Amino acid sequence: MTSTIRVTSKRFRRIAPELPESVRKQVLEAANETARFGLTAVQRTISKTKPPPVATGNYRAAWKIIYNPDGPQLVNTAPYARYVEMGRRPGKRPPLTPIEQWVRVKRLATDPKKIRSIAFAVQDKIGKKGTKGRFIMKRTVPVMRKFYTRQLKASVAYTEPPR
């Protein structure tokens, strides 16, 4: 599952057919610029997060922009991105294999039996207590909104004829 934030609004998609082509292009370009800015902003948010969710680097590298005709999407394609963002409730335990990989990357153990033992303990604790969300996108979206608003205002100011 991926975490997705649409840069363009639902309202824009509703009214887009009624807008002149030049305005639609400007709004779409502002959305594309915002998505590119968002990619950088997400990386900054990750760096500011304590502790940062970067044991393997996969989460950081999994951020991508998907360009669609109605606007870009900023997504994280890591299979666990949802859990980094929102956390995990207590209950069902997570899969063991990714935790074993994490133990190896963190160099908590080298012996396969010890790796498995540590992974079981982590898996059990996550199952019992859950994990806290890091809210990377939630903390990045306000910065992206401000950027998008500035981009739109600059675009409209550039094209608005003098009165």
Q: What is the reported pLDDT for 59?
A: 93
DSSP E strand boundaries for 36-86: 63-68, 71-76
Burial class of residue 139 (count of CB atoms within 10 Å of its CB; 0-12, 13-18, 19+):
middle
Q: Give the Cα separation of 44 and 49 in Å (integer).
A: 9
- How far is residue 141 CA from its own chain's centroid? 9
Q: What is the reported pLDDT for 162?
A: 53
Instruction: Retrieve residue 14's tokens.
Output: 């509703």
- Partnered with residue 71 across adjacent β-strands are 68
Q: What is the reported pLDDT for 6?
A: 47
Indicate the DSSP class of residue 106: T
Which among 157, 143, 103 is positioned nearest to 5, based on CA atoms?
143
Q: What is the reported pLDDT for 9?
A: 58
Q: What is the reported pLDDT for 160?
A: 54
Q: What is the reported pLDDT for 54?
A: 82
Query: Domain boundaries in the chain?
Result: 3-83+133-159, 90-129
Per-residue pLDDT of the chain (163 residues; tens, 9 = 90+): 555 444 455 666 676 677 788 888 888 899 999 999 999 999 999 999 988 888 888 999 999 999 988 889 999 999 999 999 999 999 999 999 999 999 999 999 999 999 999 999 999 999 999 999 999 999 999 999 999 989 888 876 655 555 5
Q: What is the reported pLDDT for 7?
A: 47
Which among 21, 10, 20 is positioned nearest to 70, based on CA atoms?
10
Q: What is the reported pLDDT for 140?
A: 96
Q: What is the reported pLDDT for 123?
A: 96
DSSP reduced 3-state for 130: coil
